[in-house]
Amino acid sequence: MEPDLNAVFDLVLRRNPGEVEFHQAVREVFDSLGPVLKKNPHYADEAVLQRICEPERQIIFRVPWVDDEGTIRINRGFRVEYNSALGPYKGGLRFHPSVYLGIVKFLGFEQVFKNALTGMPIGGGKGGSDFDPRGRSDGEVMRFCQSFMTELYRHIGEYTDVPAGDIGVGGREIGYLFGQYKRITNRYESGVLTGKGLTWGGSLVRTEATGFGTVLFANEMMKTRGESFDGKRTVVSGSGNVATYAIDKAQQFGAHVVAFSDSSGYVVDEAGVDVGLLRQIKEVERGRVSEYVARRPGATLVSEGSIWDVPAEVALPCATQNELHEDHAVALVKNGVKVVAEGANMPTTPKAVQLLQDADVLFAPGKAANAGGVATSALEMQQNASRDAWSFEHTEERLAEIMATIHHNCATTAEEYGQPGNYVVGANIAGFTKVADAVIALGVI
């Protein structure tokens, strides 16, 4: 790492103790930026690195609510408004017991560059709570969301900060959050949240967009080697929104998807995943993957080991951060993997990324490959601003164009900086330079 980068990274470590995911995210970007600083020394002179590593605003608040037994519960809420040089803060809310400030800052930092890559006028932010919606009744989730929004509403707005969903926050939660925002503000401000229901301001394709976009990006990578998804044995970690629609789109492209997972284990279905059944269990019934096995003859549930032990040519990690470790990468390479595209945020550890790249595996980092979700959120914001609604076909076409453009920009940037085929370097540099130039243009603020 260059001396200027080392000095700033040391500062990040000192000022943000214990936030290991945030440190990892910063290091991952900094490892790509040495050639950029040599070519553009004014970035260091203007303290752009320091400014980008410090969020513009960090909000932490108490969220009190009452469960169905009448017990008062207390959770902690977060919103990190990270960088608005390109537009209003934009990024999801995550409800999960693992959420703490370091997780939210890592996600916000990643979001800044991801949003820049989309080409849309949106900055980066992230938020959430350590509340766990799993196993809670609709009434409990509603009361929590209403309490959460009672504090958050004062910090957001369609020209300020536009949250969306993430892990634990789907259409149900967005509905409760938007309803409380509308009630408090007395404004039907559709553009304040994205991921809304189709009957009250949502956009077609938004539900599918992150998973679809991951597959679209992976397909663009494969085209560079004269290949496609057709007939390729594929494994997808997770079984939530991103994983489900990654499976769906991969199958549309002819892939043979044989495995998916949740926290209880992974399912192997050699006949090919029945995505309709998976959606019914996960989206409608909010069940576990064991219920898929109970209804799907020939499918098996494996509770030990890792989904990455399943032989595959294409691997799509779509569950959570740091789920694919070095030993998993070794197994994937041994079993003949050709493509790994991140549907989740930072799901592959740094050593695993290096191992995959050294084995000449096409590797797509999440800030590029999973940008389809936030890109379609920006399209939802466009529709809200114009009081319009686009067809599924038109919106999906826009998504495909955006993902192809992200791929092109990552590929050409990597080549410009002497590392052709390195999508990590391409994504980091392309995202960083766009944000850095805007930070300088707006002055010292």
Average pLDDT per block of 10 residues along the chain, 445 residues long:
90 98 97 96 96 98 98 98 98 98 98 98 98 96 98 98 96 97 97 97 96 98 98 97 97 98 95 97 92 96 96 97 97 98 96 97 98 97 96 97 98 97 98 98 96
**For residue 426, is it within any domain?**
no
CA distance 201 to 3: 49
- Same domain as 220, residue 365: yes
Residues 6+ apart with CB under 8 A from 38: 2
Determine the structural domain holding residue 163 and report its residue range.
3-188
- Residue 241 labeled ligand binder: yes
DSSP 8-state code for residue 322: T
Domains of the chain: total: 2
For residue 2, the model assigns a pLDDT of 81
Helical axes 350-358 vs 20-30, angle rounded to 10°: 30
215 contacts 275 by C-beta, under 8 angstroms = no
- Does 214 lie in the same domain as 183? no
User: Is 193 part of a structural domain of the chain?
Assistant: no
Collapsing DSSP states into helix, strand and coil, what is residue 373? helix
Structure tokens at 30: 């900094």
Q: Indicate whether 328 belongs to any domain.
A: yes
Question: Are the CB atoms for 209 and 399 separated by under 8 Å?
Answer: yes
Residue of 39, 105, 126, 249 marked catalytic = 126
Together in a domain, 216 and 340: yes
Q: CATH code at 264?
A: 3.40.50.720
Q: Is the dihedral of CA 40, 30, 167, 405 positive or negative?
A: positive
Inter-axis angle of helices 101-118 and 372-385, nearest 10: 70
Q: What CATH number corresponds to the domain at position 150? A: 3.40.50.10860
Distance from C-alpha of 197 to C-alpha of 281, rounded to nearest angstrom: 20
**Residue 132 sits in the same domain as residue 231:** no
Query: How many whole angstroms separate alpha carbon 345 and alpha carbon 200?
Result: 28
Most distant CA atoms of the chain, gap in Å: 63
pLDDT of residue 3: 85
Tell which of 369, 395, 410 closes a domain: 369
Is 261 marked as a binding-site residue? Answer: no
Shared domain for 134 and 256, answered yes or no, is no
Query: Is 363 a domain residue?
Result: yes
Q: Specify whether the CB–CB gap between 389 and 427 falls below 8 A.
A: no
CB atoms under 10 Å from CB of 369, counted, come to 34
C-alpha R_g of the chain: 21
- Residue whose entry in the numeric block shows the structure tokens 């990552």: 410
Contact 251, 257 (CB under 8 A): yes
Query: Residues 68, 137: contact at Cβ < 8 Å?
Result: yes
Residues 183 and 211 in one domain: no
List the one residue out of 311, 309, 262, 270 whose CA is nearest residue 290: 262
pTM for the full predicted model: 0.94
Residues 211 and 182 in one domain: no
283 within domain boundaries: yes
Residue 182 annotated as binding site? no
In a domain, 382, yes or no: no
Rounded to the nearest 5 percent, the helix, strand and coil shares of the chain are 50, 15, 35
Rounded CA gap, 367 and 44, in Å? 23
* 181 and 228 belong to one structural domain: no
Indicate whether 358 and 222 sit together in one domain: yes
Q: Mark whether 276 and 235 lie in a shared domain.
A: yes
Closest CA to 108 of 348, 323, 437, 346: 346
Q: What are phi and psi of 261, to 5 degrees?
A: -155, 170
Residue 331 lies inside a defined structural domain of this protein:
yes
Residue-level pLDDT at 40? 95
To the question of whether residue 90 is assigned a binding role by annotation, the answer is: yes
Best CA proximity match to 318, nearest among 374, 239, 372, 254: 239
Last residue of a domain, one of 118, 153, 188: 188
Tell whether 170 and 235 lie within a shared domain.
no
**Domain assignment present for 36:** yes
* 245 in the same domain as 146: no
Please tell me whether 343 is known to bind a ligand: no
Q: How far is CA 4 from the centre of its chain?
A: 29
Burial track 150-182 (b if 16+ CB lie within 10 A, e otherwise): bebbebbbbeebbbbbbbbbbbbbbbbbbebbb
Residue 126: active-site member:
yes
